[in-house]
Amino acid sequence: MYYALEACSLCVLQFKYINYVINSIFRKIFDTKSQEVVDDCLEMFNCLPAEKAAVRKCKFLTKI
């Protein structure tokens, strides 16, 4: 889901949609409806929120 995300210019609504999709994927994988469980799994697997792509975008642009 995050592949080359730093090269795209996204608005806040698109970041929210990406986060929604990632949360839905983890809910299906672990068969849960609890947001706390999903948050714990995201942390364990080191899946950062999509908003962190802005930080990676700055690093990407400075390298170019």
Of residues 1 and 17, the one with the higher pLDDT is 17
C-alpha–C-alpha distance, residues 53 and 58, integer Å: 9
User: Strand, helix or coil at 63?
Assistant: helix
Please report, for the chain, the start and end positions of each structural domain, with discontinuous segments joined by +. 5-63
Specify the pLDDT at position 4: 74
Specify the pLDDT at position 31: 95
* pLDDT tens by residue, 5-55: 777 788 889 889 989 999 999 999 999 999 999 999 999 998 888 877 777
Do residues 1 and 26 make contact, with C-beta atoms less than 8 angstroms apart? Answer: no
